[in-house]
């Protein structure tokens, strides 16, 4: 068979995001055993770096071996037992997945829905909490399928006042938006390595409050998943270092290096960079006469949803971007298939160069379908200067 010769794509879809060469170099370091003293010290460093990025002092803050969906499952199956109530907020694909997982764990999930492209209404969440008195409420901070940023302020107080814990999906926001786990009183928060952290996919950072840890320890039944049972996994990441499963060594090397890059840049500077590039991109899109899918006050900086113009073939545009310009962007999912493009400006991919590049490439690709549009580059450049 031929050797792997993957092209160096410009990744501007919903993930994975571009990876800094220093992170790829870290993955090529020699393997250590998962109980090697040097690797155990590295685990401590990774936990400290994750606490910095999550903005938490939580002791149980680790990378789960698996992608962001493993973090989602770990959060829910560890907290929920058969018969428990759960309020699941749904305004896109990933809220639907949480609902499915909660049901598979034997819980009784109650959905609070919002139209795709809009945030979930806090008043409706409060009504559901008061009506159902669930064990937890779960919500997506950054809905990757729609580009919506959910306001989390006040949600933990609502949950705690009604005897529930707050679980937050921050897969596409951690490292690109403030998540502020401790300040917001979040009980469990999980993410993925391949979005704003600019690390290859394969690990899911997750953090549990002491309230959540106590809940897991006092379960009446075993956790549905052996692999994701935090009662056992925590013993490997804690002082005991008890073997549970073989950690993905090279992925942890990569995560450590990616997190070091985040700390070197500084969280606030990183947030501002994501915001600046998002605003410039939006200015360019609107100057071209195109429309964003999400209202300005609810938009993610890291994932930008653009409406596909009437009469335009979504797939043809994305194929041309890839074949002619080496740029990957994403299409819509579910009811949004063929209706939006999802343009990622995440981590190392959130740059001025990429913003200007994708604006011109998108214009050229639309012109190839007979749609004449003005350039958006000048408007984007003005946005950078303002």
State pLDDT tens for residues 42-98: 999 999 999 999 999 999 999 999 999 999 999 999 999 999 999 999 999 999 999
- Determine, yes or no, domain membership for 1: no
- Determine, yes or no, domain membership for 284: yes
Asked if 29 and 44 sit in the same domain, the reply is yes
Average pLDDT taken over every residue of the chain: 97
pLDDT at 313: 96
pLDDT digits (tens, 9 = 90+) for 285-326: 999 999 999 999 999 999 999 999 999 999 999 999 999 999
Report the interhelical angle of 68-79 vs 93-104 (nearest 10°). Answer: 40
pLDDT for residue 130 is more than 80: yes
Which domain, by its residues, includes 235? 20-264
Last residue of a domain, one of 240, 264, 288: 264
Asked if 297 and 195 sit in the same domain, the reply is no
- Determine, yes or no, domain membership for 184: yes
pLDDT at 341: 98
Output the domain CATH number for residue 280: 3.90.1150.10
pLDDT for residue 386 is more than 90: no
* Mean pLDDT of the 224-245 span: 94
Residue 114: enclosing H or E segment and its boundaries?
none
- Determine, yes or no, domain membership for 252: yes
- Determine, yes or no, domain membership for 5: no
* Mean pLDDT of the 336-357 span: 98
Structure tokens at 214: 């106590």
* Mean pLDDT of the 102-116 span: 98
Size (the chain), residues: 386
pLDDT at 292: 98
* Mean pLDDT of the 94-113 span: 98
* Mean pLDDT of the 357-366 span: 98
Asked if 301 and 210 sit in the same domain, the reply is no
Asked if 233 and 310 sit in the same domain, the reply is no
Asked if 226 and 305 sit in the same domain, the reply is no
pLDDT for residue 13 is more than 70: yes
pLDDT band at 227 (very low <50, low <70, confident <90, very high): very high
293 and 307 Cβ atoms separated by less than 8 Å: yes
Last residue of a domain, one of 242, 264, 286: 264
pLDDT: which is higher, 181 or 240: 181
Last residue of a domain, one of 222, 241, 264: 264
Residue 370 backbone class (left: φ over 0; alpha: ψ -120 to 50; beta: rest) = left
Number of separate domains in the chain: 2
Structure tokens at 42: 């590295």
pLDDT digits (tens, 9 = 90+) for 134-162: 999 999 999 999 999 999 999 999 999 99
Q: Taking the CB of residue 161, how many other CB atoms lie within 10 A of it?
A: 11
Asked if 333 and 230 sit in the same domain, the reply is no
Output the domain CATH number for residue 156: 3.40.640.10
pLDDT at 1: 56
- Determine, yes or no, domain membership for 381: yes
Asked if 270 and 249 sit in the same domain, the reply is no
**3-state class (DSSP) for residue 378:** helix
230 and 71 Cβ atoms separated by less than 8 Å: no
Asked if 248 and 311 sit in the same domain, the reply is no
Asked if 238 and 310 sit in the same domain, the reply is no
Sheet holding 136-140, edge to edge: 60-65, 203-208, 188-190, 165-169, 136-140, 85-90, 108-113
- Determine, yes or no, domain membership for 15: no
Asked if 168 and 33 sit in the same domain, the reply is yes
- Determine, yes or no, domain membership for 6: no
Asked if 49 and 79 sit in the same domain, the reply is yes
Asked if 201 and 148 sit in the same domain, the reply is yes
**Global pTM exceeds 0.85:** yes
pLDDT at 239: 87
Task: Quickly list DSSP for 36-91.
Answer: -HHHHHHHHHHHHHHHHHHT---SEEEEEES-HHHHHHHHHHHH--TT-EEEEEES
């Amino acid at each position: 068979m031929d050797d792997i010769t993957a092209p160096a794509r410009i990744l501007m879809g919903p993930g994975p995001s571009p990876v800094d060469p220093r992170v790829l170099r870290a993955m090529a370091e020699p393997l250590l055993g998962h109980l090697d003293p040097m690797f155990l010290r590295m685990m401590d460093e990774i936990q400290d770096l994750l606490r910095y990025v999550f903005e938490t002092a939580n002791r149980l803050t680790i990378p789960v071996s698996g992608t962001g969906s493993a973090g989602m499952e770990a959060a829910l199956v560890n907290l929920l037992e058969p018969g428990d109530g759960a309020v699941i907020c749904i305004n896109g694909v990933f809220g639907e997945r949480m609902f499915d997982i909660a049901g598979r764990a034997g819980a009784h999930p109650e959905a609070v829905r919002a139209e795709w492209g809009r945030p979930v209404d806090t008043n409706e969440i409060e009504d559901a909490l008061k009506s159902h008195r669930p064990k937890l409420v779960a919500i997506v901070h950054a809905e990757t399928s729609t580009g919506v940023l959910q306001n989390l302020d006040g949600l933990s107080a609502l949950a705690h006042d009604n005897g529930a814990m707050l679980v937050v999906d921050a897969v596409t926001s951690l490292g690109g938006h403030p998540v502020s786990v401790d300040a917001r009183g979040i009980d469990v928060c999980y993410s993925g390595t391949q979005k704003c952290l600019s690390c290859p996919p394969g690990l899911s950072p997750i953090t549990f409050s002491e309230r959540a840890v106590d809940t897991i320890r006092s379960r009446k039944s075993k956790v549905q998943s052996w692999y994701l049972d935090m009662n056992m996994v925590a013993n490997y990441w804690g002082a005991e270092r008890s073997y549970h499963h073989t950690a993905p060594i090279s992925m942890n090397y990569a995560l450590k290096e990616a997190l070091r890059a985040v700390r070197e840049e500084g969280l606030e500077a990183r947030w501002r960079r994501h915001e600046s590039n998002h605003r410039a991109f939006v200015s360019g899109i609107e100057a071209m006469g195109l429309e964003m899918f999400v209202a300005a006050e609810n938009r993610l900086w890291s994932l930008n949803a653009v409406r596909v113009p009437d009469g335009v073939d979504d797939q043809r545009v994305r194929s041309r971007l890839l074949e002619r310009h080496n740029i990957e962007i994403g299409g819509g999912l579910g009811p949004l298939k063929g209706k939006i493009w999802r343009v990622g400006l995440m981590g190392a991919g959130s740059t001025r160069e990429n913003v200007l590049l994708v604006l011109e490439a998108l214009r050229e690709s639309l012109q190839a379908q007979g749609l004449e549009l003005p350039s958006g580059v000048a408007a984007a450049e003005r946005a950078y200067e303002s």
